[in-house]
Amino acid sequence: MSHARESAEDRLIARYFRPLATDPGAFALGDDAAVVTPPAGCDLVLTTDGVIAGVHFFPDDPPERIGRKALRMNLSDLAAKGAKPAGFLLSLALPRGTDGAWIAAFAAGLGEDIAQYGCPLLGGDTDHTPGPVSVSIAAFGTVPRGKMVRRSTAKPGDTVVVTGTVGDAALGVKMREDASLAKRWRLMPAMARHLEERYLLPQPRNALAEAVLHHAAAAIDVSDGLAGDLAKLVEASSVAAEIDVARVPLSDAARAAIGAEPALIESVLTGGDDYEIVMTLPPQKLPALRAAAEAAGVPLTEIGRVQAGQGARFMLDGKALSFARPSYSHF
């Protein structure tokens, strides 16, 4: 019996990615395509996001973190839509000569998150590129039919809440670009590490997805900065929002940095990579959401109100802040 000729690409896929693809629908990466069977009465929720070396991460960032970051960006979109992860596809473009140790570490990191978030690898594509490393992920989740939580359904009178803390990753990137900042911001080493960690490895709020599904009127993943993403939500909903900046949740590290340099509040509110969820809901639903968040171990803070009108206003000391650049944008 003769074996079909195995290319280097086939060997790479078999060695590094087949061990991760244990879901029966992935057919051990042995077919042209995978199969997902959504639970009866469910919609599939689809999203895609990726990272490119030199754009979304530094080429010398630890490879274990790179695949995880790309996957977590997608998981965060699913969480904000109230969806439960169902799987993902991975498209990789690697420069020639990328060493096996890099790919092994990349795959090992991804394997940890596949287990942690219960989001199976179903397939993908692997190519060489004359450019930098590019990791593109398309992820799928499920929600009961018609129930995906939209951006466009906020109502005047809703309260606005956000998970976790805002701005850490944006400060972490600044520190990564200029190591002297930790000193200028008078950060203790543990605080500096916290900001860097938040940039390297997002903590998407999938533990809260079910509560978002049941309680949120509208929601958006905070990935391009709170100000810009909330502006997208209020525009989609044809409403306004007023945010009390003093109530925006900050880590001790971000608070210390702003204490040393007050102008950083703009980076905190407009920088990207938070991977938190901002959502609106009728105030009477807040206690139930709070209880669910507590049970899920996800911090939740009320930061403002939805009103009739348009635009998101960030109020500090009685004045609306104006931002030079309200949102992270590649173009």
CB of 14 to ligand ADP, least distance (A): 9
| 109 touches, from ligand ADP, Mg ion, none (C-beta below 5 to 8 Å by class) | none
**Interface mask toward ligand ADP for 83-122; x: CB under 6 A:** -------x-x----------------------------x-
| 252 touches, from ligand ADP, Mg ion, none (C-beta below 5 to 8 Å by class) | none
Residue 6 sits in the site that holds ligand ADP (CB under 6 A): no
Taking CB atoms, the residue at the shortest distance from ligand ADP is 123
Residue 31 sits in the site that holds Mg ion (CB under 5 A): no
Residue 80 sits in the site that holds ligand ADP (CB under 6 A): no
Residue 178 sits in the site that holds Mg ion (CB under 5 A): no
What is each CA distance from 256 to 67, 185, 190, 321, in whole angstroms? Answer: 31, 7, 12, 20
CB of 125 to Mg ion, least distance (A): 4
Residue 125 sits in the site that holds Mg ion (CB under 5 A): yes
How far is it between the farthest Cα atoms of the chain? 80
Residue 317 sits in the site that holds ligand ADP (CB under 6 A): no
Tell me which residues in 308-327 interact with Mg ion (CB under 5 A). Answer: none
| 17 touches, from ligand ADP, Mg ion, none (C-beta below 5 to 8 Å by class) | ligand ADP
User: Quick one: 121 or 277, whose CB is closer to ligand ADP?
Assistant: 121
Among 6, 15, 22, 31, the residue binding ligand ADP under the rule CB under 6 A is 31
User: By CB under 5 A, which span of 95-103, 123-131, 198-206, 280-288 interacts with Mg ion?
Assistant: 123-131
CB of 98 to Mg ion, least distance (A): 17
Tell me which residues in 126-145 interact with ligand ADP (CB under 6 A). Answer: 126
User: Quick one: 29 or 148, whose CB is closer to ligand ADP?
Assistant: 29
CB of 139 to Mg ion, least distance (A): 19
Give the 3-state secondary structure of the chain.
Answer: CCCCCCCHHHHHHHHHHHHHCCCHHHHHHCCCCCCCCCCCCEEEEEEEEEEEECCCECCCCCHHHHHHHHHHHHHHHHHHCCCEEEEEEEEEEEECCCCHHHHHHHHHHHHHHHHHHCCCEEEEEEEEECCCCEEEEEEEEEEECCCCCCCCCCCCCCEEEEECCCCHHHHHHHHHHCCCHHHHCCCCHHHHHHHHHHHHCCCCCHHHHHHHHHHCCEEEEECCCHHHHHHHHHHHHCCEEEEEHHHCCCCHHHHHHHHHCCCHHHHHHHCCCCCEEEEEECHHHHHHHHHHHHHHCCCEEEEEEEECCCEEEEEECCEECCCCCCCCCCC
The residues that touch ligand ADP, with contacts defined as CB under 6 A, are: 13, 17, 29, 31-32, 90, 92, 121, 123-126
The residues that touch Mg ion, with contacts defined as CB under 5 A, are: 125
